[in-house]
Amino acid sequence: MMMRRLAVLTVCAALGLLAACDPADKPAEPFKGIDITGADYARDFALSDVEGHPRTLADFKGKATVVFFGYTQCPDVCPTTMAELAAVKKQLGADGDKLQAVFITVDPERDTPEILKAYMSSFDPSFVALRSTPEQTQAVAKSFKAFFRKVPGKAADSYTMDHTAGAYVYDPQGRLRLFVRYGQPIEAWVADLKQLLA
Protein backbone atom coordinates (compact mmCIF):
# COMPACT_ATOMS: atom_id res chain seq x y z
CA MET A 1 0.00 0.00 0.00
CA MET A 2 2.85 2.34 0.97
CA MET A 3 4.73 1.52 -2.26
CA ARG A 4 1.61 2.21 -4.32
CA ARG A 5 1.08 5.59 -2.65
CA LEU A 6 4.77 6.46 -3.22
CA ALA A 7 4.47 5.50 -6.90
CA VAL A 8 1.37 7.70 -7.31
CA LEU A 9 3.13 10.65 -5.65
CA THR A 10 6.20 10.15 -7.87
CA VAL A 11 4.04 10.16 -11.04
CA CYS A 12 2.15 13.27 -9.85
CA ALA A 13 5.42 15.08 -9.09
CA ALA A 14 6.84 14.16 -12.52
CA LEU A 15 3.67 15.38 -14.25
CA GLY A 16 3.83 18.60 -12.25
CA LEU A 17 7.40 19.21 -13.36
CA LEU A 18 6.51 18.53 -17.00
CA ALA A 19 3.59 20.94 -16.83
CA ALA A 20 5.76 23.61 -15.25
CA CYS A 21 8.31 23.24 -18.08
CA ASP A 22 5.73 23.49 -20.86
CA PRO A 23 5.83 27.06 -22.30
CA ALA A 24 2.31 26.60 -23.68
CA ASP A 25 1.13 26.24 -20.09
CA LYS A 26 2.13 29.82 -19.31
CA PRO A 27 -0.60 32.23 -20.42
CA ALA A 28 0.70 34.99 -22.71
CA GLU A 29 0.03 38.58 -21.82
CA PRO A 30 -3.27 39.54 -23.49
CA PHE A 31 -2.96 41.85 -26.49
CA LYS A 32 -4.01 45.48 -26.13
CA GLY A 33 -5.37 45.49 -29.69
CA ILE A 34 -8.25 43.27 -30.84
CA ASP A 35 -7.01 39.70 -31.29
CA ILE A 36 -8.32 38.45 -34.67
CA THR A 37 -5.94 35.52 -35.04
CA GLY A 38 -7.42 33.00 -37.48
CA ALA A 39 -9.77 35.48 -39.18
CA ASP A 40 -10.76 34.48 -42.72
CA TYR A 41 -10.29 37.95 -44.24
CA ALA A 42 -7.40 40.36 -44.90
CA ARG A 43 -5.34 37.44 -46.18
CA ASP A 44 -3.35 39.31 -48.84
CA PHE A 45 -3.19 42.14 -51.36
CA ALA A 46 -1.64 42.67 -54.80
CA LEU A 47 -0.93 46.36 -55.35
CA SER A 48 1.84 48.54 -56.77
CA ASP A 49 4.33 50.53 -54.73
CA VAL A 50 5.41 54.07 -55.64
CA GLU A 51 8.06 52.70 -58.02
CA GLY A 52 5.43 50.65 -59.86
CA HIS A 53 6.62 47.30 -58.48
CA PRO A 54 3.91 44.75 -57.60
CA ARG A 55 3.81 44.02 -53.87
CA THR A 56 2.07 41.38 -51.77
CA LEU A 57 2.07 40.53 -48.08
CA ALA A 58 4.76 37.88 -48.69
CA ASP A 59 7.24 40.68 -49.49
CA PHE A 60 7.26 41.65 -45.82
CA LYS A 61 7.65 38.19 -44.27
CA GLY A 62 10.02 38.22 -41.31
CA LYS A 63 8.63 41.53 -40.05
CA ALA A 64 5.61 42.56 -38.02
CA THR A 65 3.58 44.27 -40.74
CA VAL A 66 0.97 46.96 -40.08
CA VAL A 67 -1.47 47.62 -42.95
CA PHE A 68 -3.45 50.86 -42.90
CA PHE A 69 -5.99 52.22 -45.41
CA GLY A 70 -5.84 56.01 -45.74
CA TYR A 71 -5.12 58.98 -48.01
CA THR A 72 -2.59 61.78 -48.02
CA GLN A 73 -5.08 64.66 -47.74
CA CYS A 74 -6.60 63.16 -44.59
CA PRO A 75 -6.61 65.91 -41.95
CA ASP A 76 -6.20 63.84 -38.80
CA VAL A 77 -6.45 60.03 -38.57
CA CYS A 78 -3.91 59.16 -41.28
CA PRO A 79 -1.05 61.49 -40.35
CA THR A 80 -1.58 60.75 -36.66
CA THR A 81 -1.43 56.99 -37.26
CA MET A 82 1.70 57.22 -39.41
CA ALA A 83 3.41 59.49 -36.87
CA GLU A 84 2.50 57.06 -34.09
CA LEU A 85 3.94 54.12 -36.04
CA ALA A 86 7.16 56.08 -36.59
CA ALA A 87 7.32 56.69 -32.81
CA VAL A 88 6.58 53.01 -32.12
CA LYS A 89 9.42 51.99 -34.43
CA LYS A 90 11.83 54.17 -32.43
CA GLN A 91 10.58 52.80 -29.10
CA LEU A 92 11.15 49.24 -30.30
CA GLY A 93 14.87 50.00 -30.36
CA ALA A 94 16.84 47.26 -32.09
CA ASP A 95 13.57 45.57 -33.09
CA GLY A 96 12.43 48.71 -34.90
CA ASP A 97 13.81 47.36 -38.18
CA LYS A 98 11.41 44.43 -37.83
CA LEU A 99 8.37 46.73 -38.09
CA GLN A 100 6.95 47.39 -41.55
CA ALA A 101 4.20 49.96 -42.07
CA VAL A 102 2.16 49.58 -45.28
CA PHE A 103 -0.12 52.46 -46.31
CA ILE A 104 -2.81 51.60 -48.90
CA THR A 105 -4.31 54.72 -50.41
CA VAL A 106 -8.08 54.85 -50.77
CA ASP A 107 -7.70 57.95 -52.96
CA PRO A 108 -5.62 56.82 -55.96
CA GLU A 109 -7.07 59.63 -58.11
CA ARG A 110 -5.17 62.29 -56.12
CA ASP A 111 -2.48 60.16 -54.44
CA THR A 112 0.04 59.88 -57.24
CA PRO A 113 3.23 57.85 -56.73
CA GLU A 114 5.20 61.10 -56.24
CA ILE A 115 2.80 62.42 -53.61
CA LEU A 116 2.74 59.07 -51.78
CA LYS A 117 6.54 58.83 -51.79
CA ALA A 118 6.92 62.30 -50.28
CA TYR A 119 4.16 61.64 -47.76
CA MET A 120 5.65 58.38 -46.47
CA SER A 121 9.17 59.80 -46.36
CA SER A 122 7.97 62.53 -44.03
CA PHE A 123 7.20 59.84 -41.44
CA ASP A 124 9.80 57.13 -42.12
CA PRO A 125 11.62 56.30 -45.38
CA SER A 126 11.10 52.56 -44.77
CA PHE A 127 7.29 52.88 -44.73
CA VAL A 128 5.71 51.60 -47.95
CA ALA A 129 2.78 53.15 -49.82
CA LEU A 130 0.66 51.11 -52.23
CA ARG A 131 -1.90 52.16 -54.83
CA SER A 132 -3.97 50.83 -57.71
CA THR A 133 -7.05 51.66 -59.75
CA PRO A 134 -10.17 52.76 -57.84
CA GLU A 135 -11.80 49.42 -58.74
CA GLN A 136 -8.92 47.28 -57.48
CA THR A 137 -8.58 49.43 -54.37
CA GLN A 138 -12.26 48.78 -53.64
CA ALA A 139 -11.76 45.03 -54.14
CA VAL A 140 -8.78 44.93 -51.76
CA ALA A 141 -10.63 46.98 -49.13
CA LYS A 142 -13.60 44.60 -49.38
CA SER A 143 -11.31 41.60 -48.86
CA PHE A 144 -10.07 43.31 -45.67
CA LYS A 145 -13.61 44.25 -44.57
CA ALA A 146 -12.37 47.83 -44.67
CA PHE A 147 -14.69 50.70 -45.55
CA PHE A 148 -14.15 53.89 -47.52
CA ARG A 149 -16.27 56.33 -49.48
CA LYS A 150 -15.90 59.71 -51.09
CA VAL A 151 -17.56 62.65 -49.33
CA PRO A 152 -18.18 65.54 -51.76
CA GLY A 153 -16.84 68.98 -50.87
CA LYS A 154 -17.74 72.42 -52.16
CA ALA A 155 -15.58 71.96 -55.27
CA ALA A 156 -15.17 68.84 -57.41
CA ASP A 157 -11.61 68.23 -56.24
CA SER A 158 -12.14 69.19 -52.59
CA TYR A 159 -13.73 65.93 -51.48
CA THR A 160 -12.68 64.01 -48.38
CA MET A 161 -12.72 60.27 -47.74
CA ASP A 162 -14.49 58.46 -44.94
CA HIS A 163 -12.52 55.31 -44.17
CA THR A 164 -11.83 52.61 -41.62
CA ALA A 165 -9.71 54.17 -38.89
CA GLY A 166 -7.80 51.13 -37.77
CA ALA A 167 -4.83 48.97 -38.70
CA TYR A 168 -4.31 45.28 -39.45
CA VAL A 169 -1.26 43.72 -37.83
CA TYR A 170 0.53 40.60 -39.09
CA ASP A 171 3.18 38.57 -37.29
CA PRO A 172 6.58 37.85 -38.91
CA GLN A 173 5.15 34.64 -40.41
CA GLY A 174 2.58 36.71 -42.33
CA ARG A 175 -0.41 35.65 -40.21
CA LEU A 176 -3.12 38.18 -39.41
CA ARG A 177 -3.13 38.68 -35.63
CA LEU A 178 -4.60 42.03 -34.57
CA PHE A 179 -6.89 44.86 -35.50
CA VAL A 180 -5.81 48.06 -33.77
CA ARG A 181 -8.34 50.86 -33.46
CA TYR A 182 -7.36 54.46 -34.02
CA GLY A 183 -6.12 56.08 -30.81
CA GLN A 184 -4.46 53.07 -29.19
CA PRO A 185 -1.64 54.47 -26.99
CA ILE A 186 1.91 54.08 -28.27
CA GLU A 187 2.83 52.03 -25.18
CA ALA A 188 0.12 49.51 -26.09
CA TRP A 189 1.37 49.33 -29.67
CA VAL A 190 4.90 48.65 -28.42
CA ALA A 191 3.74 45.94 -26.00
CA ASP A 192 1.74 44.13 -28.69
CA LEU A 193 4.50 44.30 -31.28
CA LYS A 194 7.12 43.08 -28.80
CA GLN A 195 4.94 40.01 -28.21
CA LEU A 196 4.58 39.35 -31.93
CA LEU A 197 8.32 39.77 -32.48
CA ALA A 198 9.37 37.63 -29.50
* 163 appears as a binding residue in the annotation: yes
Q: Are 183 and 108 in contact (CB under 8 A)?
A: no
Report the C-alpha gap between 15 and 26 in whole angstroms. 15
Q: Which residues contact 163 (CB under 8 A, 6 or more apart)?
A: 69, 70, 71, 74, 77, 106, 146, 147, 148, 149
For 157, half-sphere exposure in the C-beta direction (CA atoms, 13 angstrom radius) is 4
The verdict on whether residue 78 carries a ligand-binding annotation is yes
Measured CA to CA, the distance from residue 134 to residue 149 in angstroms comes to 11
Concatenated DSSP letters of 24-40: GGSPPPPPSSEE-TT-S
CA distance 17 to 11: 10
- Whether 12 has a binding-site annotation, put simply, is no
92: how many CB neighbours lie within 10 A of its CB?
Answer: 18
Binding residues: 74, 78, 163
Binding residues for Cu cation: 74, 78, 163
